[in-house]
Structure 1
């Protein structure tokens, strides 16, 4: 009796498979389909870059608006028939996508269950909502605005490749100030790479210490073309820049969010060139005007001071300075005469007093008494005899009279 081969047990999970015990291909496909079908439908936003219609089905390629990512989408005619206007290449849409796995061929596709164009009103509403949110954070506060240098040494320019905006800025700036220098970064200013490219150029120029101001310039375009300049990432990058940034996007009516966060908004690239550098002719005119005013002020000052000097010199004190000396000399002479007279009077008066006192002294002197016949009797010790008892008989005496001295002896009567 022939033996029946033992039937292998199929692994329950992919981790349990092995070279000796693999899954059948159909089983992997079924599990993939089962897993993919569990994924919910999702609304996404993108831009249609390819559109092929075949009978009752359309094949679209939708690309992300900010990154190089795209998906192929299959849309049935029943979905497209609900649209008010047919889809066109380049249109911005939101679509509800559901992944679908074709079991027979193993092909993964995205089924478009619903698709809606994004109108200008929706885009404007989103921009306005972002504008209010960023303004609430203070990114548009005028106090954050940096002052532009009066005469920048080097200007950074971020613009499109060989664009009219770049030519306008370079030409008009050179006409106003021929010595101006530019550091130009030509990047994509439209499409999915625009935001990343502009931010990269901005940060590169901001890191260059020789760059004094940065201009982001782009010519006019539709609202969709200018959307990169309202992107939140670019707005925040400009707010973080240390170098002053000038926004020169589109025309006067265009108002991307970059205009609000920039340190200076120019209505056009040509206007930006006029506002970042002064006009050399106007500056030379101002220099001449200032020089004329300075000369006039100096001349007025000299004339005024000369008049003051003439007035000072015309005063008597300066016109005839010797007059004051002469007057003081007369005063000195007069006072000297008065002082001499006063001194002589005092000397004469005191001389008379001195003669009078001298006469009094002489009248009271002992010599005068002697001259009148009086004598002074003295003992040998020169003491004066005032009492007879002082000179008994035989006492030697000295008699002084007006004419001189002579000796004598005392005798009783």
Structure 2
């Protein structure tokens, strides 16, 4: 008895497998349900047989390709431009041939991508990135005055490489380069440039990166360097990037996001290094201007010194001392006069005070003929205080006398002798 076949692929096993036919039919049934899809790529093979087209389409960025079949009825409606190497968009539906297990795409419509369409895409991308702020001048990094090492991304042995190297070394013979030859056109160009950019940006010796390509067809120059992933990689780079793509009229989106845009590879060489001859001329000019400035300053200071020396205070410095000496003598004489006058006045005051004191002194009274009578060391002012026979001590203006009381009379006030 035949065992039932599993209904689902996940229910199969080594003991209960699917026949190959069933897998093939299931795959076809699954793929037949897929909707029609518009895809874009490049035709790398183009064969015609009895009105049918047998094509191979490759992805524009990655190394993926698939066969595409255009039946005669559809091929008859295709316009011009569907040829090998063309960039096309196609409405396709996957088809699985169960007999051989071959998968291909059946195109129901195909049209070439015109240059106008591509440029319109570039402009839409440009506007979108500009709205994000990726083109803002505030994000632009300044180029170093003299880079230690220059990273150069360009085509292998291309004219652009030769132009950059030659003109850079003409301007600065000591310039050093880190070369990264890449494809600068075709489906792998953007990817190879991004890989080289990441490598150079990670190298600490590289101070500036130049992405250069010579002239060519507009689609070859603009499109690879307007790839969104490449543009965002340049915006995210930490090292300053110089874009030197094509000629002045060519303007890929890379030009807008790069830190510096050079109109040509030759112009890039002028921007990344200074001109040694011009720098030497500037140094010589600076030396001449410096020497002239020093001479002018010395001359000005000499004139100023001469003016200072011609001033009276320096022409005859003793004058200042003489004037001060005269002032000192005058002040000294004035002080002496003032002091002498004050001393004289004070001397008169002292003389007057001395005369007054002398007129009030006991000696002056004695000099006038008066005497001081003392009894037992006490001054006798009244005759009644002494008795007959008492010993008296009499002080005269000159000398002393001793006397004995022989008589007394009281109550009378002596008068000063006339002429005293």
Q: Structure 2 length normalisation: TM-score?
A: 0.90
* Equivalent residues in 2 for 1:268-279, closer than 5 Å: 268-279=264-275
SS of the residue 1:45 aligns to: strand
Structure 1 residues 223 and 77, CA gap change in structure 2 (3 angstroms):
farther
Query: Following the alignment from structure 1 to structure 2, what is the Cα–Cα distance between the partners of residues 355 and 105?
Result: 159
Query: Following the alignment from structure 2 to structure 1, what is the Cα–Cα distance between the partners of residues 7 and 173?
Result: 78
Query: Following the alignment from structure 2 to structure 1, what is the Cα–Cα distance between the partners of residues 361 and 15?
Result: 174
Residue 92 of structure 1 is aligned with which of 61, 83, 87? 87
**Which residue of the partner structure matches residue 295 of structure 1?**
291
Query: Following the alignment from structure 2 to structure 1, what is the Cα–Cα distance between the partners of residues 256 and 248?
Result: 14
Residue 300 of structure 2 is aligned with which of 297, 304, 323? 304
Query: Following the alignment from structure 1 to structure 2, what is the Cα–Cα distance between the partners of residues 243 and 101?
Result: 50
Residue 377 of structure 1 is aligned with which of 352, 369, 373? 373
Query: Following the alignment from structure 1 to structure 2, what is the Cα–Cα distance between the partners of residues 110 and 369?
Result: 165
RMSD: 2.2
**Which residue of the partner structure matches residue 158 of structure 2?**
163
**Which residue of the partner structure matches residue 314 of structure 2?**
318
Post-superposition CA distance 1:285-340 (Å, at most 9, x none) = 11111222222222222222222222222111222121111112112222322332
Structure 1 residues 19 and 386, CA gap change in structure 2 (3 angstroms):
closer
Post-superposition CA distance 1:72-110 (Å, at most 9, x none) = 111133333323424222111001112223344443322
Post-superposition CA distance 1:61-80 (Å, at most 9, x none) = 11100110011111133333
Residue 391 of structure 1 is aligned with which of 386, 390, 394? 386
Query: Following the alignment from structure 1 to structure 2, what is the Cα–Cα distance between the partners of residues 315 and 277?
Result: 57
Does the CA contact (< 8 Å) of 2:82 and 2:111 recur in 1? no
* Equivalent residues in 2 for 1:14-413, closer than 5 Å: 14-15=9-10, 23=18, 25-226=20-221, 227-381=223-377, 383-412=378-407
Does the CA contact (< 8 Å) of 1:80 and 1:86 recur in 2? no
Query: Following the alignment from structure 2 to structure 1, what is the Cα–Cα distance between the partners of residues 352 and 28?
Result: 161
Query: Following the alignment from structure 1 to structure 2, what is the Cα–Cα distance between the partners of residues 140 and 19?
Result: 61
Distance apart, 1:21 and its partner CA? 6.0
Query: Following the alignment from structure 1 to structure 2, what is the Cα–Cα distance between the partners of residues 352 and 11?
Result: 156
Structure 1 residues 93 and 390, CA gap change in structure 2 (3 angstroms):
same
SS of the residue 1:378 aligns to: strand
Post-superposition CA distance 1:27-79 (Å, at most 9, x none) = 44433333332222211000111111223112111110011001111113333
Structure 1 residues 348 and 103, CA gap change in structure 2 (3 angstroms):
closer
Distance apart, 1:229 and its partner CA? 0.9
SS of the residue 2:67 aligns to: strand
SS of the residue 1:224 aligns to: helix
Structure 1 residues 343 and 10, CA gap change in structure 2 (3 angstroms):
closer
**Which residue of the partner structure matches residue 3 of structure 1?**
none
Query: Following the alignment from structure 2 to structure 1, what is the Cα–Cα distance between the partners of residues 326 and 30?
Result: 132
Does the CA contact (< 8 Å) of 2:231 and 2:253 recur in 1? yes
Does the CA contact (< 8 Å) of 2:51 and 2:75 recur in 1? no
Structure 1 residues 362 and 228, CA gap change in structure 2 (3 angstroms):
same
Unaligned runs of 5+ in 2: 409-420
Distance apart, 1:10 and its partner CA? 4.8
Post-superposition CA distance 1:271-298 (Å, at most 9, x none) = 1111110100111111111222222222
Q: Structure 1 length normalisation: TM-score?
A: 0.92
Query: Following the alignment from structure 1 to structure 2, what is the Cα–Cα distance between the partners of residues 412 and 11?
Result: 188
Segment drifting more, 350-359 vs 264-273: 350-359
Structure 1 residues 58 and 332, CA gap change in structure 2 (3 angstroms):
same
Distance apart, 1:163 and its partner CA? 1.3
SS of the residue 2:219 aligns to: coil
Query: Following the alignment from structure 1 to structure 2, what is the Cα–Cα distance between the partners of residues 39 and 273?
Result: 54
Aligned residues: 407
Distance apart, 1:25 and its partner CA? 4.8
Structure 1 residues 295 and 244, CA gap change in structure 2 (3 angstroms):
same
SS of the residue 2:402 aligns to: strand
